Structures are given as structure tokens and as C-alpha cells.
Chains A and B, each alone.
Chain A
């Protein structure tokens, strides 16, 4: 069975600081996708960043970057220059390379950015 674990239920940082959210996963597949989703208090889930397991280069999207360690099955999200709008639940998710688009989500990390 595939599992995703987020060990930080809550985190809180000051605006403009850098914060790193942790995620570990388990799968027997060699190719797969990893995602970070953001769910603001308004509820709508938004994709933050995506990593393809067969690509060694870490994905980046503006202020968001990941540290993907395939051997360690670790996938952390770094948010630089954090902004008040980054306040949200963040979910790490694992998806298959092909076939049914079944995402396996972690429990989430509640991130609060303080002014």
C-alpha cells in the first residue's frame, strides 16, 4: 500500500521568513508523481508544485521549491519570502505514473504566516 506521512501538524512563521514543510512517502513503484497542494481557508485545493520521480532535478515555482530525495523517499517543500496569503493547509500527495489518477494524500500541515 502507498502511504504519505506529514509529521508536522502545525507550523507558524513570520512574514518574509523561509519555511520548510516535511513529507515522507512509501511506494513500491519506480515511477510516480509527487505533489504539494495548498488548501486555503476557503477550501478550494490548489496545486503548488509537482515533481516527476524520474527527474532528478528538483522542481521550482517562483517562491516554492522542493527537495526530492528519492532514495530516502522524502519530498519537502520550501517556501521562501513567505507571505500572508501563504496561510493554508498544505498537503503532500503521491500519484501513479499512469493508470487511474488516484492521489494518496498526507494528513496535512497547517501553516500560519504571521505579520
Chain B
């Protein structure tokens, strides 16, 4: 079975541009979470989506948005890019029920975003 996939692998943008990152969860997983990992630091939670609805949001500005599609894939959008948005963006999927909670999250390889 395929794991979590993310596209693109690498991306270079300039300040002020917008970017869309994509994630496909493991088949059967209905929950997708997004994390930002700045070089040398641990990942920081951005969003979680379950059954196409936002279930959680981290401390990120409104320039960050996301959505989940009927097939449970997800997009992360970042507008008005800043130099500080340069990071590895990780997507994680899990098989979670309505109660939520921390079932194992399976991470994708990430998208490396560089903002110049």
C-alpha cells in the first residue's frame, strides 16, 4: 500500500507569491494534518481536517488556509509569502474516529518550500 504522498517535493517562490501544497493520505484514512518544520526545529501544527471539516488550527496567520476534498486528499495554501515561511511542510494522515484523539499519524516525505 502507498504511504502518504505529497507534491511537489521542492518549491521555490518569491516573497508575496502564493503557494499550494498537496497531500494524499493513506487509503482509508479520513484525517489529514499539516505541520511546518523550520530547519533545526521540531514540527509545528498548522491544521487538522477530518471528514472535510477543520478540526483544529494552530497559531498561524490567516495567510495559511487548507481544505480537504471528498477523496480525503488535502491542500495547504499560503498567501503573501514571507521569507520566514521557508520550511519543510509535512502532511500526516491517520485513521481516526469521531472521538478523535491520537491514533498513530503517518507522515509524508514533506514539501521543501524556499521563499526568496
What residues make up the interface of A, taking CB atoms closer than 8 Å to B?
A: 4, 33, 35, 37, 42-47, 50, 91, 93, 95-108
How far is A50 from B99 in the complex, measured between Cα atoms in Å?
A: 19
What residues make up the interface of B, taking CB atoms closer than 8 Å to A?
A: 3, 31, 33, 35, 40-45, 48, 55-56, 58, 88, 90, 92, 94, 96, 99-110
Q: Are B110 and A43 in contact (CB under 8 A)?
A: yes
Q: Are B100 and A101 in contact (CB under 8 A)?
A: yes
If A42-B109, A99-B56 touch, does A105 touch B101 (CB 8 Å cutoff)?
no
How far is A99 from B100 in the complex, measured between Cα atoms in Å?
A: 5
Task: Find chain A residues with CB under 8 A from B101 CB.
Answer: 33, 96-99, 101
Q: Are A97 and B109 in contact (CB under 8 A)?
A: no
How far is A107 from B42 in the complex, measured between Cα atoms in Å?
A: 5
Nearest residue (CB) in B for A106 is B42
Q: Are A105 and B43 in contact (CB under 8 A)?
A: yes
Nearest residue (CB) in A for B33 is A101
Cβ of A66 to closest chain B Cβ, rounded Å:
15
How far is A47 from B107 in the complex, measured between Cα atoms in Å?
A: 9
Q: Are A103 and B58 in contact (CB under 8 A)?
A: no
Cβ of B57 to closest chain A Cβ, rounded Å:
8
Task: Find chain B residues with CB under 8 A from A101 CB.
Answer: 31, 33, 48, 55-56, 94, 96, 100-103, 105
Q: Are A100 and B107 in contact (CB under 8 A)?
A: no
If A98-B101, A101-B94 touch, does A44 touch B108 (CB 8 Å cutoff)?
yes
How far is A37 from B92 in the complex, measured between Cα atoms in Å?
A: 13
Q: Are A50 and B104 in contact (CB under 8 A)?
A: yes
